[in-house]
Amino acid sequence: MSKNKEINSQFLSELSNFIFNNSDKKIQSLICDLHIADIAEIIEELSIEQATYLFQLIDEERSAQILVEIEDETREHILSTLSSKEIATEVIKNLESDDATDVLSELPKEQKEEVLSLIEDDHASDIEDLLNYPEDTAGGLMAKELIKVNENWTTIRCLKEMRKQSSEVKEVHTIYVVDDQDKLVGTLSLKRLLLTETKILINEIANYDIVSVIATEDDEEVANIMNKYDLIVMPVIDKTGVLLGRITIDDVMDVVKEEAEKDYQMASGITEDVESSDSVWQLTRARLPWLLIGLVGGLLGAKVIGIFEIDKNIELAFFIPLIAAMGGNVGVQSAAIVVQGLANESVKINTILSKLVKELGVALLNGIICSTIIFGATFALNYPIDLSLTVSLSLFSVIVFAALFGTFVPLTLDKYKIDPALATGPFITTVNDILGLVIYFLIGQSILV
């Protein structure tokens, strides 16, 4: 099976031609050795009609896995072509509970209930349980399929019970050890189990040093924990310690990707999670709020210029773009560094003061360098010495202020449980533009009298 197939235009053209001519055998021959991820990529490159045709030619088990990999819009269309019975018996049946829950949650309420009624009891019960957890929690990420053994079993009984359970588990990541109340107490090494005498109790060979997470924990915190401890799988428990399921690294990678996309959009001044395929109204609604804030900021900036009667020192107008741009850029840089630190937890409560001091040091050094350069440049271009001094001091002050403001705002937002990524976008730029102009004109009034 190809593990890294390059999907080029020639390949897609050949496949499209086979689909147009209904050459099913040639299509199957072309994709039979491809990895699921490659087929998912191909489906995204085809038209909706071609993608649906191709999907119907793939065997049940692979098509179910592919359905999880493709984009929401494509998946929604393909699901709409399937009956409730087909979804239950050909899709949900071949997916683990977490993926099955994700697919099922996209269906209309009535169809969701109909599909659930057609699924085998145990699988349906697991899915219904997972549907009760919010999507952005550990419970919303976890799968119910796992191998668990009782700490009071002998190794021989453990092996027998594991054989029974393994029929429902596609991939065994870890063997979990529970007590008589089904509470998680440890994990078990398969190697150690196989090398131990058959009458030894599990509690004598189990590993009790475990990292777990409560089902209600936020998904971002789950990602941080797994990253911190270098885990590829982590057990999920309830508040009493009962083992509920497990989260694998691929689920966490999806969270990291979604959060990165969300933060990028927020930093760009987009208030909703949108895709390029969304409607004009959805895209406008996501972008317009911050554009309006920028518009208001521009009006306030104009008001600041009017208040300070710039006509008396018209040469100050020459450097307004410079002051505004530098203030906005420095503020965004500082905010981005802090937001990154908050995301990876390198910035903590006891390090906030040191972070502010460090940013102040960086701002002072950058301010000195930039203000010296601008003073030399303006002087060399034969601007009056008092104007060169005004611009230089203003630039220095704006850089220091913007750096501290860009550091302080995301820390404050985080304290009040507001996404600090909000601070890296138009908010910082707009505020720094206005306050930077105020600083500039105040210094100008003091020097250019």
Query: Binning pLDDT at 50, 70 and 90, where does residue 2 land?
Result: very low
Does the pLDDT value for residue 400 go beyond 60?
yes
Report the C-alpha dihedral over residues 294, 299, 303, 304, rounded to 10 degrees: 10
Q: What is the pLDDT of residue 336?
A: 80
Residue 379, both tokens: 């002087």
User: What pLDDT is attached to residue 412?
Assistant: 82
The whole-model pTM stands at 0.72
Which 3 state secondary structure label does DSSP give 159? helix
Least confident stretch, 351-355, 396-400, 413-417: 351-355
- 141: its two tokens: 């990420």
Q: Which residue in the block uniquely carries the two structure tokens 């592919």?
A: 66
**Please, are residues 281 and 405 in contact by the beta-carbon 8 Å criterion?**
no
Q: Please, what CATH class does the domain formed by 147-253 belong to?
A: alpha beta
Amino acid in the structure at residue 255 = V
User: 280-447: what CATH class?
Assistant: mainly alpha
Domain coordinates in residue numbering, the chain: 9-136, 147-253, 280-447
pLDDT, position 1: 41
Instruction: For 386-398, give the DSSP string.
Output: HHHHHHHHHHHHH
User: pLDDT-derived band of residue 121, with 50, 70 and 90 as boundaries?
Assistant: confident
What is the side-by-side order of every strand in the sheet holding 175-178?
147-150, 175-178, 184-188
pLDDT bin (cut points 50, 70, 90) of residue 415 is confident
What is d(CA 73, CA 90) in angstroms, rounded to the nearest whole number? Answer: 20
pLDDT of 269: 60
- Amino acid at position 164, single letter: K
Closest by Cα among 96, 93, 140 to 116: 93
- Looking at every residue in the chain, the average pLDDT score rounds to 87
State the first-to-last Cα distance of the chain, in angstroms, to the nearest integer. 79
pLDDT per position as a tens digit, 41-60: 999 999 999 999 999 999 98
pLDDT above 70: residue 350: no
Residue 297 has pLDDT above 90, yes or no: no
pLDDT at 418 over 80: no
Write down the pLDDT at residue 271: 60
User: What percent of the residues of the chain are helix, what percent strand, and what percent coil, each to the nearest 5?
Assistant: 65, 10, 25
Helix (H) or strand (E) holding 202: none
Q: Which residue has the tokens 């927020």?
A: 266
Q: Which two tokens stand for residue 93?
A: 């049946």
Q: Among 61-65, 112-116, 281-285, 391-395, which is the least confidently predicted range? A: 281-285
pLDDT top residue among 374 and 425: 374
The answer on pLDDT for 4 being more than 60 is no
The CATH-assigned architecture of domain 9-136 is Alpha Horseshoe (1.25)
